[in-house]
Amino acid sequence: MTGKRLKVALLQETHRGSREANLDAIEAGLREAAAAGAELVLLQELHNGPYFCQHESVDAFELAETIPGPGTTRLGKLAEALKLVVVASLFERRAAGLYHNTAVVFDRSAAIAGKYRKMHIPDDPAFYEKFYFTPGDLGFEPIDTSVGRLGVLVCWDQWYPEAARLMALAGAELLLYPTAIGWDPNDTEDERERQREAWITVQRGHAIANGLPLMACNRTGFEADPSGVGAGIRFWGSSFVAGPQGEFLARAGTDGRELLIAEIDLARSEHVRRIWPFLRDRRIDAYGDLLKRFRD
């Protein structure tokens, strides 16, 4: 079974040192993606600035921006001019003292087609996100675009099968994860590889379990801890596109900026779900305990 083939792009980037330099690099990447025939482009998590969550600082809230605001205006104009569907990732200032980690979708237009606020918020060494982000309140709702229904989730969400499943049950046709994840430079080489492989494997599992293609776009490059306390993070890149059986359609390297291009056959999900009918065989009558924190 074949159907609409969708050319997609992931822009794996490094922090360029300033907001304007990052946006200039994103603009160049979007133009390159459009020239390559891509219709949908996924950007990495919090792409306008550094990954500031390595420390807790009230000054870092100055990096936040309103939605809509100047950042979405520039990206929206590019989406419209280049006729692209763009999935962006911003530090949203919703109100004084109320901030979110928010993905924003543009559908070949300067207008915002929809947004998703990150639901799962980590609090780990070098990833102190609970200090900055209020958990999302928009639920797991796909965003309708001209290329399909996008199940947009963000970074830490990618470890939770419930998030991917709820997007699938709401009719998502693709799963998309803007991401910022990397290594502690003090970790051994073996530990680094275990972490990276786990990150890749769990997301391929979401694609398989839901019979959906999946796109994950990660940062790359080293970013120092602004406080000087931690060892910094070396973001491992490794952005990829997987098909509905978890098969790799495209993979980026661990180091350096890369525009990853892949082609997705959207009709394959229907075929895969016919041979692997996981949604049919779910025992929804027996899953009540999933609403508990733990079964004591």
- Show which residues are catalytic: 45, 118, 155
**Whole-angstrom Cα distance, residue 191 to residue 222?**
18
Structure tokens that stand for 53 in this block? 């969550």
Q: Residue type at 130?
A: K
Its sign, for the CA torsion 229, 56, 155, 253, is negative
Estimate the share of the chain in helix, then strand, then coil, as percent rounded to the nearest 5.
30, 30, 40
CA distance 110 to 69: 12
Distance CA 135, CA 116 (A): 11
Q: How many helices (H) and strands (E) does the chain have?
A: 5, 17
Tell me if residue 115 falls in helix, strand or coil. strand
Task: Give SS3 for 178.
Answer: strand
**CA pair distance 18, 132, nearest whole angstrom:** 20
Q: Which residues of 186-210 are buried (b: 16+ CB within 10 A; e: fewer)?
A: eeeeeebeebbeebbeebbebbbbb
